[in-house]
Amino acid sequence: MKILANTGRACVEDRFESGVSTWKISASVGQGGRNHRDDVRTIQRLLNLIDPQDGGPVVALEEDGWIGPKTNKAILDFQRFQGTGSDGRVDPHGPTLKRMNEIPKHRMKAQNATLLARVAAAMPDLNQMSLKARRTIEGAIDYVRLGDGLFTSKRDYELADLYFDFSKLSSTQTLRKLDTIRTTLRRAYAALQVPPIPLTGSNPVGISIFTIDPLGKNHFAYVPRTEAKTKDRGPGSDPAYIYLCQKMGKPKMDKFTHILMHELFHFIDDETFLYIRDHCYRDRIFSIPHEKRMRNADNYAVFTSHVHFGRARLVKSQPKLGPHIPPHL
C-alpha cells in the first residue's frame, strides 16, 4: 500500500473502532529481534492497551521505541499467559502478534470512542473553515476583477496571496488559480456532507469519512492512495476513509481540527494525478513557490484555519507561524 500523505513525524469493508486491531511490524521485536525503533514502539503500545487480566503489563511501558528488560519481560509474560511461546520475541507473522491483535482491548476501545467524539466536536469548525475559506477566495476574485471599491475586500486578496503567492502571475492567471482553489474548497465542504453510516456498536458518532487506523502507524493521520485494486485492499488501505492514528489523542483542539482539515485536502484530491502532497509544513509553507503551494496540503489547511480561527488562535496553536503572518491579517 502506498500512502498518499500523512500528518506524521516531522498525518467500506473494515472499520476498526472497537478494541480489535491489525497492527503490524516489519521485523522481530524482543529477545534476538532486530528491534527497529518503530516496531518496538508498536509492540509497547499494543502491550499497554492489553489489560493485565489478559496478559498485559501491570505497570505501563515507556512507549519510547527502545528495547530493554521491561519490554522484553512484558513480551515474555504475555506469551506465557496466552500460551503463544516462550522465546520473548514477537515475529511479524507469528502467533504472539496475532494474539495481541485478536484480544479485545478495552483501553483502545475507549481511546477510539474519545477520538471519534473529538471528530464529532470538530465537525462544526471543519464546515465553517471550508465555507469561510471559499467566501474569502470569492472575495479575492472580486478584488482582482474589480479592484478597490466599496464592495470589494483587499483583505480577502491579501489572505489568499499570503498562502498561495500570486505575485508573479498576471490578473488572468491569478483568477484562474483562485478558481482552482475555490473548486478545491467546494470539494472539501462536499466531502464533509457525506451522510453517516450506522454501525452497530462501533461508531458512536457516525462521521463516515473518518475512521481509526487499524495498523498502528506512527502518524497522526493518513490517507491511502486509490492505486490498489479493490480486491487487494486490506485494513488501513481503503481510500474511502481518512485514518486517525493513536497520536491524534495528543493535539489540543484547534491543532486537532487543523490536522483533520489537512488530511481532508489529501482525501478529496486523490481522484487526480496532481496530488495535493506534503511538500512542507507550518512556517515552511511561506517559502515555497506558487505552484508547490497550489499542491501542498498545509497551505490549504493553514489558510482555512487562519480564516476561521483568526490570527491569534492560529498562532497560539502553531507559534512558528507568527512571524510570517502580518498583524493586520
Better pLDDT: 274 or 265: 265
- Cβ-based neighbour number of residue 279 at 10 Å: 17
Better pLDDT: 4 or 194: 194
- Structural domain boundaries of the chain? 1-20+104-329, 21-103
pLDDT score recorded for residue 13: 32
pLDDT score recorded for residue 286: 98
Confidence class for position 317, pLDDT limits 50, 70, 90: very high
Checking if the pLDDT of 227 tops 60, the result is no
Work out the angle between the directed axes of helices 106-146 and 253-268 (0-180°, nearest 10): 70
Q: What percent of the chain has pLDDT over 70?
A: 84
pLDDT score recorded for residue 219: 84
Of 2, 5, 1, which Cα lies nearest the Cα of 219? Answer: 5
pTM: 0.79
| Domain at 21-103: CATH architecture | Orthogonal Bundle (1.10)
**What pLDDT digit, counting tens, does each position of 43-98 carry?**
999 999 899 999 999 999 999 999 999 999 999 999 999 999 999 999 999 999 99
List of residues 6+ apart from 239 with CB closer than 8 A: 4, 223, 224, 225, 226, 267, 270
**What pLDDT digit, counting tens, does each position of 126-144 carry?**
999 999 999 999 999 999 9
